[in-house]
Structure 1
Amino acid sequence: MQRCLKWVKHLPALGVEPTVITVDPAQAAYPVLDYSLEADVPPGVRVLRTGTREPFGAYQKLTNRPIPHGGFANEGRPSVAQRVARFVRGNVFLPDPRRGWNSFVLKQVAALVAAGEQFDAVLTSSPPHSTQLIGLALKKRYGWRWLADLRDPWTDIYYTQTLMRTAVARWLDQRYERQVLEAADVVITTSPDTGRLLQGKGTGLHSDKFAVLPNGYDEADFQHPSLPPADTLLLTYVGTITGQYHVGPFLAEVAACAVRHPQVPLRLRFVGRVAKEVAQQLADAGLLERTELVEFVPHDEAVGYMLRSTALLLGIPDVPHNRGILPGKVFEYLAANKPVICIGPTGSDAAHILDETSAGQNFDYEDRDAMRAYLDQLVASWQQNPNQDLPAFSSARYSRRGLTERLVELIRR
């Protein structure tokens, strides 16, 4: 969401006039909405909202549950109805249930062209990966330069195994993926590892077709001062976290650290969706009394929670191909100037960025000795100075405007 939003925010000042086609919020169905982000759309940018056809209303009636987050992050052990819904989603709605939007977009573009509008390029961003089929159709119909932005892997995305796909469904989804990768003029990914993964998906996919544009941070979102608490060593996690993040060993080490240092008020805070498995891990570690759970908040409030922390927690799901998972919040964590504790695979793209910027440390999921040593060091340092803020971070390489400049180069190339 923020990736496209921030591109649109900066494109006009860089000489590119964007027309945005998106969904009418009255007809769309999403787990959460953050209307505060509309303030980032510059005056004068044309935003066209279309209808859509989505099965999520039927899903809610069938399961009597909320609309699922990406990867079913807000669902624990699935019920029978949820398993049926996942099977239908994985084998009937290909590539995904959002495909019902595509015909509305193609009709809207056809109307613009019929009215004499001219465009130099089209950019499609996913997931949902069905959006890439819009770019494929527009490429065939009008021959426009097409940039396909894949924020996550497609057929290798971590929750594919939960969809119970048949061999036919897997084949068809892989065919869609290959068609998109081969037809696009530029394939944009958020991390080098994801780019390498996708490059092996089709014939004639040379490296010069692929470009890495990571997510970033917007300087305007970090104008407020950093206010780490003086009376609490507070570790904050912002965003969705599920059992696949494999943070149980780290939580156990946090609990042990609190026992070793009873004089230090060590606390945890999770801002966003916390899956039942993680809540149970907190309970098993005896950390519930030390943990603050905050439900979803608008983006600016989430940034405020980052700035009012001692250090920030980052998690990479323990799933196949996870070395290329590079969450957008990595860069906002950097902009918050807090030490970052990352629980994820060694050698990941996220770990490389933390090393490159000296902004934190990555720990393998089971490396409890290293976790223990780091936490003891953090406690000792906090006792000397509760403000553990790092030197101010500033990098055009990861700023939203700097990344948009690189996007403009790809558009004009």
Structure 2
Amino acid sequence: MKKVLIITYYWPPAGGPGVQRWLKFANNLPNFDIKPYVLTPKKPNYAIIDRSLENEISSKINVISCPIFEISDFLPFKNYFNSLRTGNISQISDQSFFEKILFFLRGNLFIPDLKIFWRKKSFQFLKKFLQKNHIDTIITTGPPHSVHLIGLDIKREFDINWIADFRDPWIMLNSNMKFHFLSKTRSKHLKFRNMVLQNANKVIVTSEKLKNYYDKLTGNVVKITNGYERINIKYDLDKNFTITHVGSLYPDRNPEILWEVLENMCV
């Protein structure tokens, strides 16, 4: 049986869309004769909590944890940073002077993200773990993309098979615009991203658009979209008309035209 180690920041009791992808993948890996291990942070600062997801973790998954230094716990105005992760923040044009300063400091001091302080602790932890346990493949999933830098460190130390899963793009995220990156900050992001793309044995993306973009940077990209489980759908849908949006509706993704169409249909 092959053994895979998944390194992820988001794991139950974390809620929101970020945790779903690899929770479901990890649950299904034993069906393909793959034994999953999952490394998560110990006592992380999750913006969204959904304890019901803890009941979905398969008993066949070995979950291990490593301490994380959550810098956001020691920063003033922590709620602003949690609001960013839930999409509940002001648009750039509506940001106050205070908000602009706050996000400028966040974006240009902590690269690639606030979870960068988990990198060293995880690397030291995994060095000991991998010396005692045979693992065939490691998988890193981001955001936060600092998780991929843990994979990069492990790849360099052990030359192990490494898969980097991009649930979202690294530098092209709409939310990054709110950080007011300096040119040198942007260059550092691109350097980190390219190091990951060039050293990972395989890169997974979630959309055709992102695959086409990353194909220009590396030749080892595959697309695996997010899915769903039919057994979890317990709602009686309207027989005549149902709209489903699978994802998050952030303030900067307000589909105003859709609302107008629905209003006209209801008249």
Range class of TM-score, shorter chain: 0.7 to 0.9
Q: Specify whether residues 229 and 156 from structure 1 end up closer, same or farther in structure 2 by C-alpha distance, changes over 3 A only.
A: closer
SS of structure 1 residue aligned to 2:188 = helix
User: Deviation per CA, 1:41-64, whole angstroms, max 9, x where unpaired?
Assistant: 2114210122112222244x3366
Alignment of 1:337-348 (within 5 A): none
Matched, 1:105 2:105: no
Structure 1 Cα separation of the partners of residues 103 and 141 of structure 2: 24
What fraction of aligned residue pairs are identical, expressed as a percent?
24
1:245 maps to 253
2:148 maps to 132
Q: Is residue 88–residue 251 contact of structure 2 (8 Å, CA) maintained in 1?
A: no
1:195 maps to 211
Q: Specify whether residues 63 and 180 from structure 1 end up closer, same or farther in structure 2 by C-alpha distance, changes over 3 A only.
A: closer
User: Deviation per CA, 1:163-200, whole angstroms, max 9, x where unpaired?
Assistant: 11111101111000111100110011111210111222
Q: Is residue 214–residue 221 contact of structure 2 (8 Å, CA) maintained in 1?
A: no
User: Deviation per CA, 1:111-131, whole angstroms, max 9, x where unpaired?
Assistant: 2134x2111111001111111
Question: Counterpart amino acid of 2:212?
Answer: R
Question: Counterpart amino acid of 2:231?
Answer: A
Gaps of 5+ in 2: 1-18
Alignment of 1:342-357 (within 5 A): none
1:254 to 237, 250, 262: 262
2:82 to 67, 71, 80: 67
Alignment of 1:19-38 (within 5 A): 19-24=37-42, 27-38=43-54
SS of structure 1 residue aligned to 2:73 = helix
Alignment of 1:4-403 (within 5 A): 4-24=22-42, 27-59=43-75, 61-62=76-77, 65=80, 67-70=82-85, 73-76=87-90, 77-114=94-131, 116-201=132-217, 205-206=218-219, 209-222=220-233, 224=234, 226-228=235-237, 239-258=247-266, 260=267
Question: Counterpart amino acid of 1:242?
Answer: Y
Q: Is residue 63–residue 82 contact of structure 1 (8 Å, CA) maintained in 2?
A: no
Structure 2 Cα separation of the partners of residues 169 and 18 of structure 1: 35
Question: Counterpart amino acid of 1:17?
Answer: K
Residue 81 of structure 1 deviates from its aligned partner by 3.2
Q: Specify whether residues 244 and 45 from structure 1 end up closer, same or farther in structure 2 by C-alpha distance, changes over 3 A only.
A: same
Question: Counterpart amino acid of 2:106?
Answer: R
Q: Is residue 153–residue 198 contact of structure 1 (8 Å, CA) maintained in 2?
A: no
Question: Counterpart amino acid of 1:3?
Answer: R
Q: Specify whether residues 64 and 177 from structure 1 end up closer, same or farther in structure 2 by C-alpha distance, changes over 3 A only.
A: closer
Structure 2 Cα separation of the partners of residues 43 and 99 of structure 1: 30
Question: Counterpart amino acid of 1:104?
Answer: K
Q: Specify whether residues 65 and 138 from structure 1 end up closer, same or farther in structure 2 by C-alpha distance, changes over 3 A only.
A: closer
1:368 maps to none
Gaps of 5+ in 1: 261-413
SS of structure 1 residue aligned to 2:258 = helix
Question: Counterpart amino acid of 2:22?
Answer: C
Q: Specify whether residues 62 and 227 from structure 1 end up closer, same or farther in structure 2 by C-alpha distance, changes over 3 A only.
A: closer
Q: Is residue 161–residue 201 contact of structure 2 (8 Å, CA) maintained in 1?
A: yes
Structure 2 Cα separation of the partners of residues 64 and 152 of structure 1: 23
Question: Which stretch has the larger CA shift, 161-170 or 241-250?
Answer: 241-250
Residue 228 of structure 1 deviates from its aligned partner by 3.2
Structure 2 Cα separation of the partners of residues 157 and 65 of structure 1: 18
Residue 257 of structure 1 deviates from its aligned partner by 3.0
Greater Cα radius of gyration, structure 1 or 2? 1
Q: Is residue 63–residue 81 contact of structure 1 (8 Å, CA) maintained in 2?
A: no
2:9 maps to none
Structure 2 Cα separation of the partners of residues 158 and 66 of structure 1: 15
Normalising by structure 2, report the TM-score: 0.84
Q: Specify whether residues 169 and 239 from structure 1 end up closer, same or farther in structure 2 by C-alpha distance, changes over 3 A only.
A: same
Structure 2 Cα separation of the partners of residues 213 and 117 of structure 1: 28
Taking only aligned residues, the RMSD between alpha carbons, in angstroms, comes to: 2.2
User: Deviation per CA, 1:34-85, whole angstroms, max 9, x where unpaired?
Assistant: 12112222114210122112222244x3366471243x61112333333222
Residue 239 of structure 1 deviates from its aligned partner by 4.9
SS of structure 2 residue aligned to 1:253 = helix
Structure 1 Cα separation of the partners of residues 264 and 31 of structure 2: 52
User: Deviation per CA, 1:257-299, whole angstroms, max 9, x where unpaired?
Assistant: 33x3xxxxxxxxxxxxxxxxxxxxxxxxxxxxxxxxxxxxxxx
Residue 91 of structure 1 deviates from its aligned partner by 0.7
Question: Which stretch has the larger CA shift, 78-87 or 163-172?
Answer: 78-87
Q: Specify whether residues 229 and 218 from structure 1 end up closer, same or farther in structure 2 by C-alpha distance, changes over 3 A only.
A: closer
